[in-house]
Amino acid sequence: MRRPLNRDACDSLTIDFTKAKLVYRLNRLHGSNELIAKAIGYKPGKVLSVFDTTAGLGVESFLLAALGCNVTLFERHPAVAKALDEALKEGTLHEPIAPIIARMQLHSTCAIAYMEQHPECRPDVIYCDPMFAPRKKSAAVKKSIRVLQEWVGEDEDATQLVALALQRAQKRVVVKRAKTDPLLHPAPTFSLEGRAHCYDVYALSRI
């Protein structure tokens, strides 16, 4: 289970979808050439519904929404969910990204609990990027992610999450992990590798 953030951490946690680095990445987003786009099965002009079950800082959700996906974000940690909610509200005030924000819907709850309570919800794609135990002295882990790992802790129910996602997704389940992290479910259909991370893709027979 994730542990609570301390008071200082809660006060200092902010998320900004208008920051320069994210805008730069948004401007360089080239649709189906992007690794995450290939992983979810993105095709120009086709709108996919995506559950981001471990939203965290919301970066992947934002990029998926920028591709035109309708993204439902799940974040169960109250402090992180609050920061996400504030960032989404602030994003609606910025005209260049307001249409992207409009395709993002946040649920401040556990994705596992939500999917168990709403078996009728069957998105096209379920995306999982769980927190693993922090790796010491790893240059591959960005500072923002490393801090979140230290504050929030490991997602010990990640295997359960992926197993449930495989029952609920209509087209694909995508699991992001560092190359050094173990598979959360055996035999993905294929994997796409970046410099430090890979996407394990489970293409479902009911496509």
Question: pLDDT tens for residues 131-146?
Answer: 765 555 554 455 555 5
Residue 31 resides in a domain: yes
* pTM metric for this prediction: 0.85
Task: Single out the residue of 126, 118, 120, 112 nearest to residue 172, CA to CA.
Answer: 126
* 144-155 per-position pLDDT tens digit: 555 565 555 566
Residue 86 resides in a domain: yes
Q: What is the pLDDT of residue 175?
A: 97
Residue 2 resides in a domain: no
Residue 196 resides in a domain: yes
Which pLDDT band, with edges at 50, 70 and 90, does 9 fall under?
Answer: very low
Q: Which residues does residue 49 pair with via DSSP β-bridges, in sequence order?
A: 70
Residue 189 resides in a domain: yes
Residue 99 resides in a domain: yes
Residue 1 resides in a domain: no
Residue 188 has pLDDT above 70, yes or no: yes
Residue type, 165: A
Q: What is the pLDDT of residue 1?
A: 44
Residue 135 resides in a domain: yes
Averaged pLDDT score across all residues of the chain: 85
Q: Supply 160's token pair.
A: 């359960």
Whole-number Å distance between alpha carbons of 183 and 160 = 13
Looking up tokens 């307001």, which residue turns up?
Answer: 98
Whole-number Å distance between alpha carbons of 52 and 39 = 13
Percent above pLDDT 90 for the chain: 58
* 115-131 per-position pLDDT tens digit: 999 999 999 999 999 87
Cβ contact 145:131 at 8 Å: no
Which pLDDT band, with edges at 50, 70 and 90, does 79 fall under?
Answer: confident
| CATH number, domain with residue 156 | 3.40.50.150
Q: Which residues constitute the domain of residue 136?
A: 7-203
For the chain, the domain total comes to 1
Task: Single out the residue of 153, 143, 16 nearest to residue 90, CA to CA.
Answer: 16
Whole-number Å distance between alpha carbons of 108 and 81 = 6
Q: Decide the pairing of beta strands 70-74 and 190-193.
A: unpaired
* 197-206 per-position pLDDT tens digit: 999 999 996 5
Average pLDDT over residues 157-181: 94
Residue 14 has pLDDT above 90, yes or no: no
Q: Would you give the DSSP letter of residue 60?
A: H
